[in-house]
Amino acid sequence: MTDHTPVPYTGPTRVLSGVQPSGALHLGNYLGALVKFARLQHEMDTFIFVADLHAITVWQDPAALAQQTREIAAAYLAAGLDPAKATIFPQSAVREHSELAWIFQCVARLGWLDRMTQFKEKSGKHKERSSVGLYTYPVLQAADILIYKATHVPVGEDQKQHLELTRDIAQKFNHDFGAPAFFPQPEPLIQGPGARVMSLRDGSAKMSKSDPSDYSRINLTDDADAIAGKIKKARTDPEPLPETVEELAARAEADNLVGIFAALSGKTKAEVLGEYAGKGFGAFKPALAELAVEKLAPVGETMRRYLGDPTEIDRILKAGAERASEVAAPTVAEVKKLVGFWGA
Ligand code: TYM
């Protein structure tokens, strides 16, 4: 009988993640992803890219896409990513992502993709009119991660299922091609109160770029007045804040605002309740607005400053793409050898 016990991966630790350039970034992206990227760059070799190949799974205006890519890069820099520590690059500039994605399309099973909930949400009622790319999207995501043999992937909670698929693809590839420790089993880094930031208008819906109401989200480019105004108008309930985190469970909007406060202040929800239990939203909202303005307004300002110098952003992206290719190309060369391609 074949022994299927996974062989431990012994390569170096490495962080990888990315964000799509498909609309303005919001507080969810910031707390669920960007803040973690900036922290992790001090702990591990870090690769952070702009997911422009993923963005075109739905229509993107060709005249705007390159600028949207620069905007994400500016947000990375404003959130504290340092190009001397982290490799920052556009996904489409490293062609090996697409090459490995094809090979992975032949490893992943149709049944695995059929289970992906994000495709169901994004394709809505008109599945047959969606691009094929929207369906195979998570396979490209697996290639993004495994091409750098990334071991840690900081993301928001909505990406959890894609990370599970990545692990399945890695395991099946290693098994099918007789290389038990070739790809690692990447760990999603999801924990923390910012992992699932909800809409400010509806505590049961995720804060999202595609929500038609701008009042549902705080954009990273919002100025101090807009940030404070949106928090003031955020939906709440009439009860004061409770003593315990458990009591927030049935109060989605209250839970969300406490979670945002916790994530922005680096505290736990329990610590925030320790300070505000018994107080109503009349007291809590102004404190949250002040904190949000203090933390976010400078990020927007720094982003605008970087965007004023597109040549510098382009220089960073080009250097990042070169460095990323140096790591990606040998992985794909080894993969081609394992698959048995001519000349590999
Ligand atoms: P994207 O562009 O939709 O979102 C970027 C990051 O923001 C997180 N996020 C949230 N976190 C908390 N609360 C929210 N409301 C919220 N909304 C979004 C997302 O979880 C994500 O971490 N498929 C990815 C991009 C991608 C990728 C990858 C990520 C492509 N390849 C490889 C990691 C590794 C996406 O669409 O993210």
CATH code of residue 294: 1.10.240.10
Q: With respect to residue 219, please indicate whether it lies within any of the assigned structural domains.
A: yes
Q: What is the band of 1 on the pLDDT scale with cuts at 50, 70, 90?
A: very low
48 and 147 share one domain: yes
295 and 162 share one domain: no
Q: With respect to residue 256, please indicate whether it lies within any of the assigned structural domains.
A: yes
Cα 135 to its chain centre, rounded Å, is 18
The tens digit of pLDDT for each residue in 115-145 reads 999 999 999 888 999 999 999 999 999 999 9
Tally of structural domains, the chain? 2
> Distance (Å, rounded) from C-alpha 57 to C-alpha 60?
9
Does 4 have pLDDT greater than 60? no
The tens digit of pLDDT for each residue in 86-104 reads 999 999 999 999 999 999 9
Full residue range of the structural domain in which residue 264 is found: 214-305
- Residues with a catalytic annotation lie at 122, 206, 209
> Distance (Å, rounded) from C-alpha 255 to C-alpha 248?
5
166 and 72 share one domain: yes
31 and 77 share one domain: yes
Mutation to probe ligand 1, out of 30, 159, 187 (largest number of atoms < 8 A from CB): 159
27 and 176 share one domain: yes
> What are the pocket residues of ligand 1 if the criterion is a CB atom closer than 6 Å to any ligand atom?
16-20, 28-29, 31-33, 51, 54, 141, 144-145, 153, 155-156, 158-159, 195-197, 206-207
> Distance (Å, rounded) from C-alpha 36 to C-alpha 152?
11
Q: With respect to residue 44, please indicate whether it lies within any of the assigned structural domains.
A: yes
Q: With respect to residue 252, please indicate whether it lies within any of the assigned structural domains.
A: yes
CB contact at 8 A, 147 and 331: yes
Does 247 have pLDDT greater than 80? yes
Q: With respect to residue 201, please indicate whether it lies within any of the assigned structural domains.
A: no
CB contact at 8 A, 90 and 67: no
Q: With respect to residue 50, please indicate whether it lies within any of the assigned structural domains.
A: yes
228 and 257 share one domain: yes
Q: Which of 155, 152, 193, 151 is nearest to 33 (CA)?
A: 155
Does 253 have pLDDT greater than 50? yes
Q: What is the band of 70 on the pLDDT scale with cuts at 50, 70, 90?
A: very high
Among all chains, which residue has been given the structure tokens 């990020």?
A: 299
Q: What is the band of 8 on the pLDDT scale with cuts at 50, 70, 90?
A: confident
Q: What is the band of 5 on the pLDDT scale with cuts at 50, 70, 90?
A: low
Cα 23 to its chain centre, rounded Å, is 14
Q: With respect to residue 9, please indicate whether it lies within any of the assigned structural domains.
A: no
Q: Would you state the pLDDT for residue 193?
A: 87
Q: Which of 342, 344, 339, 343 is nearest to 105 (CA)?
A: 339
Q: How far is the CA of 327 from the centre of ligand 1 (A)?
A: 23
CATH number at residue 331: 3.40.50.620
Coil/strand/helix, residue 250: coil
Tell me what the mean pLDDT of segment 233-257 comes to.
Answer: 96
Q: With respect to residue 6, please indicate whether it lies within any of the assigned structural domains.
A: no
The tens digit of pLDDT for each residue in 16-26 reads 999 999 988 99
